[in-house]
Amino acid sequence: MAGITLTDVVLVLNRTMILDRLSLAIPPAGITALVGPNGAGKSATLRVIDGLLVPARGSLTVPGTRRAFVFQKPALIRASAAANVALGLAALGLSRTERRARTGAALARVGLAHRANDPATRFSGGEQQRLALARAWAARPDLLLLDEPTANLDPGATDLVEALVAEMAAEGTKVVLVSHNLAQVARLAADVIVLARGRAVEHGPTRTTLLSPRTPEARAYLDGELPWSSLAAAS
Amino acid sequence: MTETIHETFARLMTLDRDVLAIAWLSLRVSLTAVAIGLLLGIPLGAFLAVTRFRGRSALVGLLNAFMGLPPVIVGLVLYLVLSRSGPLGSLGLLFTPGAMVAAQAMLATPLVAALTRQVVADAEDHLGEQLRSLGLSAPRRAGVLVYDTRFSLVTTALAAFGRAISEIGAVLVVGGNIDGHTRTMTTAISLETQKGDLSLALALGIVLIALVVTVNAVAALLRGHAVRAYG
């Protein structure tokens, strides 16, 4: 798949400029992380890529036919885990047999096959997010968009979700990850884009960008956020 | 007063066939009207919750205002429509239980639609983006959100039932309060009070309250069981 490109994208919501002539070129494979302070436009960028928000100006190229979005708070309906996964397949025009097979495989993939018939709303936060990933994976997406998927999870659940995301990326799914957890970004992402005030201020390989930011905006953000010691220990 | 209460309980102990027939007719008319109200109101409310179009806010405002429609006005309008010279006069529905069902359905539908819109819109706030991202069309999103809010919609159905079974203006105008044919609990209570038979009116009132409490209790039990099973 070719990369995702955004050129001079302008997004205005409630008379507030969210994306200000944002231009990006996201490589076609691996995991790309979007980082930046609150209000930088990270989540809005993911929504523009998914088509949930339509920019006022600018152009957008998103190759691939299937996208999946996993939100910070898993959006699950009051139904069984299996029904929630099957919901992700509802618009794909699959046969009932195929839907059932994919649902079972997806639940097994995230380690929740034994809870297929349990009400999803009773699951723990980590299990709910794994279920959301199962729903995304069942659709066999070319592009997986993750909006702070582990923000509400404990370290154990975070590890499981990260492992699943890394596996999906290794199998060829392009992943765009928004995260405030820079240690997680360092663990998962091949490249990092730093956003500030609706613009991309820096884009480069993860280590270089996190350890030696070139622009003052990226430096200001990373100085406040980067857990230097853990990153140094990880290297 | 004490004598009236004694007589009331005596009549309750010996519930005659007429009282039971009146109670059964009331229940049948109101439950049918609520079923029609749910069939029309839930899709309408859900549709308004998931779609955006010009004039939608005005329609929502109108629907909210119609929740408070005076029953006697609904009865009057339906009377004009169903009367011999009215557009649907040929159906011969006036002064039949069918006309009473239609009147109560007209009261129940806007109530169901307005409450459903609110409940589904709240669910849309936290599920809407995900459902749009999954590529679901507006009717499918509405269907999923109605399913997701089904336990809350039980309360909507109960509110509609309460409005239907307790109203008197509309059924009196289009039903005519004909003994053995269109006499309901509320019209019978009104008539017996005017005639001075307070013990019968009170006995009917107690039966009416018992019916409402029973329907609500059954719904609450079913809802509780379903919530425990499906979260």
- Domain ranges in chain A? 4-65+142-234, 80-139
B9 in a structural domain: no
Q: Which residues of B touch A129 (CB under 8 A)?
A: none
Quick check: is B74 in a domain? yes
Which of B137, B147, B229 faces A77 most closely, judged by CB atoms? B147
Taking CA atoms, what residue in B is nearest to A122?
B231
Distance CA B60, CA A2 (A): 45
**Would you give the DSSP letter of residue A2?**
P
Residue A233 reports pLDDT greater than 50: no
Hey, which CATH number is domain A4-65+142-234, 3.20.20.70, 3.40.50.300, 3.50.50.60, 3.30.1490.20? Answer: 3.40.50.300
- Output the six-digit token pair for A198: 């609706």
Residue pLDDT, tens place only, A43-65? 999 999 999 999 999 999 998 77
CA distance A153 to chain B (A): 19
Nearest CA in chain B to A88: B134
* Cβ-based contacts of B131 with chain A (< 8 Å): 75
DSSP A40: S
Q: Please tell me the predicted confidence (pLDDT) of residue A229.
A: 44
Ramachandran region of residue B102, left (φ > 0), alpha (ψ -120 to 50) or beta? alpha
The verdict on a CB contact (< 8 Å) between A78 and B151 is yes
| Axis-axis angle for helices B150-166, B97-133 (nearest 10) | 160
Using CB atoms, pick whichever of A50, A79, A92 lies closest to residue B133. A50
Closest CA to A195 of A175, A177, A207, A174: A177
Range of the domain at B181: 25-197
Residue B104 carries which DSSP code?
H
Residues in B touching A92 (Cβ below 8 Å):
135
Q: With contacts defined as CB-CB under 8 Å, which chain B residues touch A122?
A: 231
What is the domain count for chain B? Answer: 1
- Over residues B126-174, the pLDDT tens digits come to 999 999 999 999 999 999 999 999 999 999 999 999 999 999 999 999 9
Q: Which of residues 71-130 of B touch A (CB under 8 A)?
A: 126-127, 129-130
Q: Report the percent of chain A where pLDDT is more than 70.
A: 95
> E-strand spans in chain A?
4-13, 16-26, 31-35, 57-61, 67-70, 143-147, 174-178, 191-196, 199-205
Q: Do B144 and A88 touch (CB under 8 A)?
A: no
Only one residue has tokens 């839907």, namely A99
- Does residue B231 belong to any structural domain of this protein? no
Partner-chain residue, chosen from A77, A91, A122, that has the shortest CB–CB distance to B148: A77
Distance from CA of A80 to the nearest CA of B (A): 7
Work out the average pLDDT over A161-168: 95
pLDDT digits (tens, 9 = 90+) for B191-212: 999 999 888 888 889 999 999 9
Q: What are the φ and ψ backbone dihedral angles of B138, each rounded to 5 degrees? A: -55, -45
Q: Which of A13, A49, A50, A77 to mutate to test the interface with B (most CBs of B within 10 A)?
A: A77
C-beta atoms of A78 and B129 within 8 A: no
Structure confidence at residue B120 as a pLDDT band (50, 70, 90): very high
| Dist. CA A165–CA A143, nearest whole Å | 12
Determine which helix (DSSP H) or strand (DSSP E) holds B118, and give its type and residue range: helix B97-133
User: Which CA distances in Å does B198 have to B51, B123, B176, B191?
Assistant: 52, 48, 21, 10
Least Cα separation, residue B150 to chain A (angstroms): 9
Distance separating alpha carbons of residues B175 and B75, to the nearest angstrom = 9
> Is residue B170 assigned to a domain?
yes
Assigned token pair, B162: 């309460």
Reported confidence tier of residue B9, pLDDT bands at 50, 70, 90: confident
Tens digit of each residue's pLDDT (9 = 90 or more) over A104-127: 999 999 999 999 999 999 999 999
Are A120 and B133 within 8 A, CB to CB? no
Nearest CA distance, A20 vs chain B (angstrom) = 23
The chain-wide mean pLDDT, for chain A, equals 92
**Residue B76 falls inside a structural domain:** yes
CATH of the domain at B69: 1.10.3720.10
